[in-house]
Structure 1
């Protein structure tokens, strides 16, 4: 049973002392066994309104050089899933080689899960903070959202797929020209338990300077 939104403590106020370092075996266990769920295995229910609000608050607690908040969240749920899919289908309907199957796939893209959060990298002009750092902050927000959902008891996965890399699709989904999709985070429950997959060998990617 997923945890209620009330299980998420309120965010501290500015300059309020915070317990930023605290031993948590549960957190370590979650990280050690964290696993995305295939989008095709997601089902109802997904986070409700209060739970999603709490998760998005957690998602925003990421490294953010300059306190710019160079990201935003777009919730695609309910009927909006079909509207967003229809917008994508219109984008590609006259493309060479696109058949009905491809159009249907675009229409159903967001219907694969109870809800999707589009995490948008919305960089701003800054003399002190490079664009790359801002993009990394958006990626961290996407992952924080996924981790928070797992900790609350929901399954999820972080995808990009073709709409993230198609300027026409980004415009159809409401992004400004300078904005990019950091990820589509699909959330819900799972039809079947996730199984472990092959992981990169961390030991071969460690060195000392």
Structure 2
């Protein structure tokens, strides 16, 4: 399959299991994230690799975040299980820089491109991958526990693992509904 065919047929898969990939594979995935468009070469993103015991630490952070918000037991329980949906999570966050020509918004988009590249790299290697956000992406306690400064953004949690089931290919969207020429 060539790159264009891959991009035309790729889709997220939340059904993940198995062990985290080894360090060489993780580094290969992260290298893809480092090759995204980056105005002025600021590299306004960071990766936090979460696996093994890190999943338990992230679970505790999620649980603490919901508890601090006075969430009910069901919501606390659900949040505490979220990190175990995959054997590897790559948290993509921003690292904003002051720059006269590169506004914060462009830097956020570049970090989003890095998350996308990480997901595409994992998928191209045969793994299932799912880019997730949600309220834990914005919670200050989660940022603090992950070592992310409060003024930075968590762009997403990219869950990666072996696919526990294959999904049928979704229909492509009709271009006519989303494109106009000027």
Q: Same fold (TM over 0.5)?
A: yes
Deviations along 1:5-48, one digit per CA (max 9) or x if unpaired, are xxxxxxxxxxxxxxxxxxxx51111111101102xx10113321
Which of 69, 79, 87 is the matching residue for 2:43?
Answer: 69
- CA distance in 1: counterparts of 2:85 and 2:148, whole angstroms: 22
Tell me, in whole angstroms, the C-alpha distance in 1 between the residues paired with 2:178 and 2:73.
44
Partner of 2:2, secondary structure, is helix
Q: Give the Cα–Cα distance (whole angstroms) in 1 for the partners of residues 180 and 69 of structure 2.
A: 47
Q: Secondary structure at the match of 1:192?
A: coil
Aligned to 1:31: 7
Aligned to 1:144: 117
Q: After the TM superposition, which of the residue ranges 98-107 and 67-76 deviates more from structure 2?
A: 98-107
Local SS of the residue matching 2:92: strand
C-alpha deviation, 1:50, in angstroms: 0.7
Aligned to 2:26: 52
* Partner residue of 2:62 out of 84, 88, 92: 88
State whether residues 59 and 144 of structure 1, in contact with CA within 8 Å, keep that contact through their aligned partners in structure 2: yes
Q: Which runs of 4+ in 1 moved over 4 A?
A: none
CA distance in 1: counterparts of 2:64 and 2:3, whole angstroms: 43
C-alpha deviation, 1:204, in angstroms = 1.7
Q: Which runs of 5+ in 1 are unaligned?
A: 1-24
1:196 offset after TM fit, Å?
2.9
Q: Which has the larger radius of gyration?
A: 1
Would you say how many aligned residue pairs link Structure 1 and Structure 2?
A: 182
Which whole-Å deviations, capped at 9, do the CAs of 1:146-196 have from their partners, x for residues lacking one?
111111111101010111122333223321022101110000011111123
Of 92, 98, 108, the match for 2:81: 108
Structure with bigger helix share is: 2
Question: What's the TM-score, normalizing by structure 2?
Answer: 0.93
- Tell me, which stretches of 5 or more residues in structure 2 are unaligned? none
Please state how far the C-alpha of 1:199 moved relative to its aligned partner.
4.8
What is the TM-score of this pair, normalised by structure 1?
0.82
> What corresponds to 2:140 in structure 1?
167
Q: Structure 1 pair 87/54, CA: closer, same or farther in 2 (3 Å)?
A: same
Instruction: Give the alignment's Cα RMSD to 1 decimal.
Output: 1.5
Counterpart CA distance in 2 for 1:101 and 1:173 is 24
